[in-house]
């Protein structure tokens, strides 16, 4: 795990020069500059990184005089191409075993997500498969998903446990995240989600006792998890049970996050604000009051349009959050019910289905997504001092990220200034 302050992934002393970019998106525009443009964009620009950190951005001719291309350990010619910050995916359930593709058909025939769960399918089915899978295999499954995410431009990814629902498998899941993090270029951010569902044959209140009294102390002892999340939903955990889990998490130094108002309006958003959660996620049924509460608390709204797409459900009201001034973030919610590992597709959905502009979607997938996981070291931007996590697109403008929905616009992925993937859709 790259602990906060331990420096970004990337080789020590390694110098990287990305030069001649048609457009370099440094990050969201500074609100004080009174520019109408939502993004700070440099043209004919270069980016220089040393030891995995951005040290300069600016005109190519100036920067390459100071940092000659031929002296760079990694030089990337971005002529005619756009360079954007690496995507941050702040909400995934990427460690699991088993296959639920048949539930896709059941849903198409009209079965609801809750009906499938009530019959022991859904999350509970993935729990059975995950419990039976070795930690080594969980690591391999996760690494395979991370390869896809990296190729599509994700350079930092939050991953939740929650398919164990018992101490041993929850701990093994978190261990799998830590082991995958050591082996993969993507930075992983681990979240404990023991309160993801009520295990079969158990009662919610009694299971919450187990989460609080047994699982959380063990997770804290293990020392991997950074956040504690809960599925606050009708028929899962109510607001007071969710509060109990999150407050116990805080006592163990785990920052709260909440799955809130996904299938109904229960009060999870207000709870997130009250406990000072880093984020409240889903928010399909949030009210104007909820929006205000999040803004006042500084809790980041994380919208997950892929989930609504997969369920054929209504989308969250992104404009209500944006117009009120909230730092909207977006994420894949990758899980067996929402098989999307692409933050590019999420940005397409954000624009087409939630009325966001491509620039708003890019900020939501980078800087604001970093805020949702408490990364305020410049992650999600390419400002000086930020981790040198950058994407060279095979297109002249950032607009192609959301605009394309057939294949990826990402050509080269730099993680900590080192080329971590080269993709693109050229045959
Ligand atoms: O965020 N809603 C709860 N958790 C996941 C779904 C997990 C699953 O169905 O396996 C979500 O959508
Ligand atoms: Fe989720």
125-160 per-position pLDDT tens digit: 999 999 999 999 999 999 999 999 999 999 999 999
Q: Does 335 sit in the ligand 1 pocket, CB within 6 Å?
A: yes
For residue 10, what is the DSSP state? S
Distance 51 CA to ligand 2 centre (A): 34
The ligand 1 atom at the shortest distance from the C-alpha of residue 333 is 1
Q: What pLDDT was estimated at residue 3? A: 41
**Whole-Å CA distances, 27 to 12, 37, 359:** 25, 11, 10
Write the residue with the smallest CA distance to atom 10 of ligand 1: 123
The ligand 1 atom at the shortest distance from the C-alpha of residue 231 is 3
Distance 347 CA to ligand 2 centre (A): 17
Its CATH class, for the domain covering 88-371, is alpha beta
Distance 411 CA to ligand 2 centre (A): 29
318 is written with which tokens? 């992104």
The ligand 1 atom at the shortest distance from the C-alpha of residue 100 is 10
Q: Are 344 and 402 in contact (CB under 8 A)?
A: yes
Angle of helix 167-183 relative to helix 123-131, nearest 10 degrees? Answer: 80
Higher confidence at residue 262 or residue 34?
262
50, β-bridge pairs: 15, 53
Q: What percent of the chain has pLDDT over 90?
A: 92
Distance 115 CA to ligand 1 centre (A): 14
**Residue located via tokens 């849903």:** 107
Distance 167 CA to ligand 1 centre (A): 19
Q: Does 156 sit in the ligand 1 pocket, CB within 6 Å?
A: no
Mutate which of 268, 308, 311, 335 for ligand 1? The one with the most ligand atoms within 8 Å of its CB, which is 335
**Nearest ligand to residue 96 Cα:** 1
Q: Is the pLDDT of residue 7 over 70?
A: no
Q: Are 234 and 264 in contact (CB under 8 A)?
A: yes
**Nearest ligand to residue 99 Cα:** 1
57-69 per-position pLDDT tens digit: 999 999 999 999 9
- Helical spans, DSSP H, in 68-166: 101-108, 113-118, 123-131, 135-151
Q: What pLDDT was estimated at residue 10? A: 65
Q: Does 333 sit in the ligand 1 pocket, CB within 6 Å?
A: yes
156-215 per-position pLDDT tens digit: 999 999 999 999 999 999 999 999 999 999 999 999 999 999 999 999 999 999 999 999
**Nearest ligand to residue 236 Cα:** 1
Q: Is the pLDDT of residue 263 over 70?
A: yes
Report, as an integer, the average pLDDT of 246-269: 97
Q: Are 54 and 388 in contact (CB under 8 A)?
A: yes
Q: Are 329 and 383 in contact (CB under 8 A)?
A: no
The ligand 1 atom at the shortest distance from the C-alpha of residue 163 is 10
Q: 56: alpha, beta or left, given left = phi > 0 and alpha = psi -120 to 50?
A: beta
**Nearest ligand to residue 335 Cα:** 1
Distance 333 CA to ligand 2 centre (A): 5
Distance 174 CA to ligand 1 centre (A): 17
Mutate which of 113, 160, 315, 337 for ligand 1? The one with the most ligand atoms within 8 Å of its CB, which is 337
**Nearest ligand to residue 339 Cα:** 1
The ligand 1 atom at the shortest distance from the C-alpha of residue 233 is 2
Q: Is 177 helix (H, G, I), strand (E, B) or coil?
A: helix
- Between CA 25 and CA 31, with CA 30 as vertex, the angle to 5 degrees is 135
Q: Where are the domains of the chain?
A: 15-86+382-425, 88-371
Q: Residue 43 contacts by C-beta under 8 Å, 6 or more apart in sequence? A: 22, 23, 24
Q: Is the pLDDT of residue 289 over 90?
A: yes
63-93 per-position pLDDT tens digit: 999 999 999 999 999 999 999 999 999 999 9
Mutate which of 338, 339, 340 for ligand 1? The one with the most ligand atoms within 8 Å of its CB, which is 338
373-388 per-position pLDDT tens digit: 999 999 999 999 999 9
Mutate which of 196, 237, 281 for ligand 1? The one with the most ligand atoms within 8 Å of its CB, which is 196
**Residues around the ion ligand 2 (C-beta < 5 A):** 333
Q: Does 126 sit in the ligand 1 pocket, CB within 6 Å?
A: yes
**Whole-Å CA distances, 106 to 103, 121, 163, 355:** 5, 11, 21, 30
Q: Which CATH number fits domain 15-86+382-425: 1.20.140.10, 1.10.760.10, 2.30.40.10, 1.10.10.10?
A: 2.30.40.10
Distance 14 CA to ligand 2 centre (A): 37
Q: How confident is the model at residue 37 (pLDDT cuts 50, 70, 90)?
A: confident
């Amino acid at each position: 795990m790259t602990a906060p302050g331990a420096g970004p992934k990337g080789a020590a002393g390694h110098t990287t020069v990305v030069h001649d970019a048609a457009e370099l998106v440094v990050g969201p525009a500074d609100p004080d500059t009174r520019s109408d443009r939502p993004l700070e964009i440099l043209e004919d620009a270069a980016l220089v990184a040393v030891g995995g950190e951005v040290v300069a951005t600016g005109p190519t001719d100036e920067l390459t005089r100071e940092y000659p291309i031929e002296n760079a350990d990694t030089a990337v010619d971005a002529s005619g191409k756009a360079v954007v910050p690496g995507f941050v995916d702040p909400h995934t359930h990427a460690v699991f075993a088993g296959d639920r593709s048949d539930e896709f058909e059941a849903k198409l025939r009209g079965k609801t997500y809750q009906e499938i769960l009530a019959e022991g399918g859904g999350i509970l089915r993935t729990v059975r498969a995950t419990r039976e899978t070795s930690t080594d295999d969980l690591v391999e499954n996760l690494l395979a998903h991370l390869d896809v995410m990296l190729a599509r431009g994700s350079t930092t990814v939050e991953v939740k446990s929650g398919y164990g629902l018992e101490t041993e498998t929850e701990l093994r899941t978190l261990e799998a995240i830590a082991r995958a993090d050591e082996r993969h270029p993507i930075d992983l951010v681990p979240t404990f989600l023991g309160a993801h569902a009520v295990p079969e044959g158990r009662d919610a209140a009694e299971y919450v006792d187990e989460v609080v009294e047994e699982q959380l102390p063990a997770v804290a002892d293990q020392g991997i998890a950074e956040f504690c999340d809960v599925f606050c939903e009708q028929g899962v955990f109510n607001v007071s049970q969710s509060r109990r889990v999150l407050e116990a998490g805080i006592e163990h130094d785990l920052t709260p996050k909440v799955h809130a108002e996904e299938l109904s309006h229960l009060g999870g958003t207000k709870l997130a604000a009250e406990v000072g959660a880093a984020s409240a996620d889903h928010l399909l049924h949030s009210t104007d009051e909820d929006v205000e509460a999040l803004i006042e608390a500084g809790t980041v709204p994380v919208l997950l349009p892929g989930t609504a797409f997969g369920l054929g459900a209504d989308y969250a009201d992104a404009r209500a959050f944006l117009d009120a001034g909230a730092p909207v973030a977006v994420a894949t919610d990758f899980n067996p019910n929402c098989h999307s590992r692409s933050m590019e597709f999420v940005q397409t959905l954000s624009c087409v289905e939630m009325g966001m502009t491509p620039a708003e979607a890019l900020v939501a997938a980078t800087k604001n997504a970093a805020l949702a996981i408490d990364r305020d070291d410049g992650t999600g931007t390419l400002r000086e001092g930020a981790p040198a996590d950058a994407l060279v697109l095979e297109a002249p403008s950032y607009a192609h990220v959301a605009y394309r929905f057939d294949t990826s616009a990402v050509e080269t992925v730099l993680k900590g200034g080192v080329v971590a993937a080269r993709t693109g859709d050229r045959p």
